[in-house]
């Protein structure tokens, strides 16, 4: 699992960049239609999911590779559904995003729990999972807010998620090893 995360830092970085771009675009155009929001969400979910799935496919011999695959497939499925039904009601879109955030968050928490003895900084992945579950739960329990409020909430979630994913990718990629017991670059 530690090798998989170390090798797949680029997938975390790509997911973080996609989340940041999605969040900034949502903030820049708060009055956009739900159709455009559905397409932006679909693109984010598909690219983010594809990055995780490709990483899993490239590292099938590593322990825990299938968690990355599940994470990727969940994102791809949510994106495809959003593209297939672009005129979906606001309620369905809100529930789809909430469900995706909860599934993603649970998988991220599970991965962080699995890594707790193998790496330093696993709390970043756990924090990403907690933010995802909290966002998803809030959205599922409160599906009726106005479209403008929803855009702002989604944008903030995407930006926070993107920053946390980029921080995790940076830790996994930098010269100092994030793994417990591993030598550092200075050693």
Q: What pLDDT does residue 148 have?
A: 64
Q: What pLDDT does residue 1 have?
A: 60
Q: What pLDDT does residue 89 have?
A: 52
3-state secondary structure string, the chain? CHHHHHHCHHHHHHHHHHHHHHHHHHHHCCCCCHHHHHHHHHHHHHHHHHHHHHHHHHCCCCCCHHHHHHHHHHHHHHHHHHHHCCCCCHHHHHHHHHHHHHHHHHHHHHHHHHHCCCECCHHHHHHHHHHHHHHHHHHHHCCCCCHHHHHHHHHHHHHHHHHHHHHHHHHHHCCCCCECCCCCCCC
Q: Which domains, and CATH codes, for the chain?
A: 2-173 (1.25.40.600)
- The per-residue pLDDT string of the chain (187 residues; one tens digit each, 9 = 90 and over) reads 667 667 778 888 888 898 899 889 888 876 665 677 778 778 888 999 999 899 889 988 888 888 889 989 999 998 898 888 776 655 677 787 789 889 999 988 988 888 777 777 778 888 989 999 998 888 788 776 655 667 787 888 889 989 988 988 888 887 445 555 555 444 4
Q: What pLDDT does residue 96 have?
A: 78
Q: What pLDDT does residue 187 have?
A: 43
């Amino acid at each position: 699992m530690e090798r998989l995360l170390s090798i797949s830092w680029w997938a975390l970085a790509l997911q973080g960049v996609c989340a940041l771009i999605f969040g900034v675009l949502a903030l820049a155009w708060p009055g956009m239609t739900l159709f455009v929001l559905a397409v932006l969400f679909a693109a984010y979910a598909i690219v983010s999911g594809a990055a995780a799935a490709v990483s899993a496919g490239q590292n099938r011999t590593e322990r825990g590779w299938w968690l990355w695959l599940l994470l990727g497939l969940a994102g791809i499925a949510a994106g495809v559904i959003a593209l297939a039904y672009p005129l979906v009601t606001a309620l369905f879109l809100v529930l789809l995003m909430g469900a995706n955030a909860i599934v993603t968050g649970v998988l991220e928490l599970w991965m962080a729990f699995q890594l707790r003895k193998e790496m330093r900084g696993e709390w970043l992945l756990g924090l990403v999972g907690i933010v995802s579950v909290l966002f998803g739960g809030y959205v599922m329990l409160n599906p009726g807010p106005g479209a403008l409020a929803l855009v702002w909430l989604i944008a903030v979630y995407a930006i926070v998620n993107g920053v946390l994913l980029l921080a995790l990718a940076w830790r996994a990629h930098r010269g100092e090893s994030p793994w417990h017991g591993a030598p550092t670059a200075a050693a």
